[in-house]
Amino acid sequence: MSAGTVRPPVVPRQVLTARTAVAVVFGLNGLAVASWFARVPAARDALGLTPGRLGLLLLALSAGALLALPSAGILAQRLGTARTVGTATGVAALGLALAGVATGSWQAIPAVAVGLFALGYGSGTCEVAMNVEAAAVERRLGRTVMPRFHAAWSLGTVAGAIVGAGSARFGVPIGLHLGLAAVAMLAGTLPAVRLFLPDRATPPSRSRSGPTRGTGTLAAWREPRTLLIGLLLLVMAFTEGTANDWLALAFVDGHRVSDAVGALAFGVFVAAMTVGRTAGTIALDRWGRVPVLLGTLVLAAFGATVAVLAGPWQLAMAGVLLWGLGTSLGFPLGMSAAADQEDRAAARVSVVAAIGYTAFLAGPPLVGLLGDRVGSLRALLVVPLLLLPALLLVPATRPPADARPEPVGGRSEPVGGRSEPGGRSEPGGRSVPVSSPGDPTAGGAG
């Protein structure tokens, strides 16, 4: 081997196994949530709800998730990610099963609300803990994989929607369907969490400002970088949620297309999101987090504008494709940025998730109010209007100078970094270490 050659790191089998386990947990979480949403029309009919009362019922799910997020980081720190995900999955599965039985057999709205609250609380807690575990796996792999975990969640939602549509088509009772989905969620998640990375005691802070800085959730709420990342996640969640909630309807009303074409628009968006999260890691490892985020946010803003203003619906569909690709990386990379320092990852992920998820409460009524004035299609222009100023928030995702990756195969590198001669900084502020095989030196990004 020549003197200038750097041997690629050998990733321990335990890390590769944990990577697969985390992907399974993400996918099953998405499947469970989508299973309920796929049966919302059946639940509305069984309970005899008006659109307004149905909206109030669905708030129980959002309320459970939002209440879970502030405490989820504390649970992950004290119990470890594996126990937190396992316990939260049990709560979510019980809630999903209760919502199904209460809808199909009892027609008891209060019981359905309790079930949805438990589903939201369990899923919200799981959301934080599994992202913390995903970030730990990403650090040990030494390359960007967080978007692929979120792609697994997207694939889980697609699977849940397909199974839900089939269950509705063939008349499977909603209680049986959601009960089986709950069992599948538990049966897959509980064995998977046993393969997570071993929980370790929270290490002392490695911040250059000293080890006495707070590592709890309250301290994280006072960190400017964490709050800026949370605001970025708020915009990205709004961008994604607006497409999920309004895109199909906006195409039907604004572009005067059939319901099938409207559904196709939603499908194109989801497919583009999944592809972007799967393939986007290549760009991230080449150019780094900040340049890629800047490019994808501009792409999303351009795509959303084309989707609204284009004349032919086929051209508007191309805009939807760009919108989905541009949106795909924002949320997972925000989560990854919040977890850059392992000793504070749980608290920071909890904070940014709490900020970001408020978009799922505020977004639908905001777009709806705009739609009453300018039409549902034109109301979607709020997306690029928020994305463009959000470009100013992207530099906050640059890894802090004291964020050190975990050693992999005897040396450590920044996540998504490449070893190159000279130890120069790559685009996005990533410092690239120069090390011989076995040298643990790692350059701090800053």
Amino acid at 270: V
Q: Is 431 helix (H, G, I), strand (E, B) or coil?
A: strand
Q: Cα-Cα-Cα-Cα dihedral of 373, 375, 379, 381, to 10°?
A: -120
The per-residue pLDDT string of the chain (446 residues; one tens digit each, 9 = 90 and over) reads 444 555 556 778 999 999 999 999 999 998 998 888 878 878 888 999 886 788 788 888 888 988 898 888 888 888 999 999 999 999 999 999 999 999 999 999 999 999 999 999 999 999 889 998 998 998 899 888 999 999 998 888 888 888 888 888 888 999 999 999 999 999 999 999 999 998 754 444 444 433 334 457 788 889 999 999 999 999 999 998 888 778 877 888 889 988 778 878 877 888 888 899 988 989 988 998 999 999 999 999 999 999 999 989 999 999 999 999 999 999 999 988 998 888 888 888 888 988 988 887 777 778 878 888 888 899 999 999 999 999 999 999 998 876 555 544 433 343 444 333 333 333 333 433 333 333 333 333 33
Supply angle C-alpha 189, 193, 196, rounded to 5: 145
Per-residue pLDDT of 222-241, as tens digits, reads: 999 999 999 999 999 999 88
Tell which residue, 151, 73, 110, has the closest CA to residue 342: 73
> What is the Cα–Cα distance from 185 to 94, expressed in whole angstroms?
10
Quote the CA–CA distance of 198 and 333 in Å, as a whole number: 24
Give the amino acid at 257: V
CB neighbour list of residue 166: distance below 8 Å, 6 or more residues apart: 172
CA–CA distance, 368 with 204 (Å, rounded to integer): 47
DSSP state of 227: H
Q: Output the six-digit token pair for 143.
A: 């390359």
What are the φ and ψ backbone dihedral angles of 340, each rounded to 5 degrees? -60, -35
* C-alpha 127, offset from chain centre: 8
pLDDT at 403: 59
Q: What are phi and psi of 425, to 5 degrees?
A: -85, 135
**Torsional class of 428: left (φ above 0), alpha (ψ -120 to 50), beta (otherwise):** left
pLDDT of residue 240: 87
The pLDDT value given to residue 313: 92
Cβ atoms within 10 Å, residue 54: 15
Question: Element (H or E) spanning 21, and its range?
Answer: helix 13-38
Measured CA to CA, the distance from residue 34 to residue 31 in angstroms comes to: 5
For the CA atoms of 76, 80, 81, 83, the dihedral, rounded to the nearest 10 degrees, stands at: -110
How many CB atoms are located within 10 Å of the residue 292 CB?
Answer: 26
Cα 136 to Cα 412: distance, rounded to the nearest angstrom = 13
C-alpha to C-alpha distance for 332 and 147, rounded to whole angstroms:
5
Q: Which two tokens stand for residue 300?
A: 């999303």
Report d(CA 441, CA 443) in Å as an integer. Answer: 7
DSSP state of 411: B
Q: Could you tell me the CA-to-CA distances from 302 to 80, 235, 295, 310, 375 in Å, in that order? A: 41, 15, 11, 11, 20
- What's 255's DSSP letter? S
Are 154 and 273 in contact by the 8 Å Cβ rule? The answer is yes
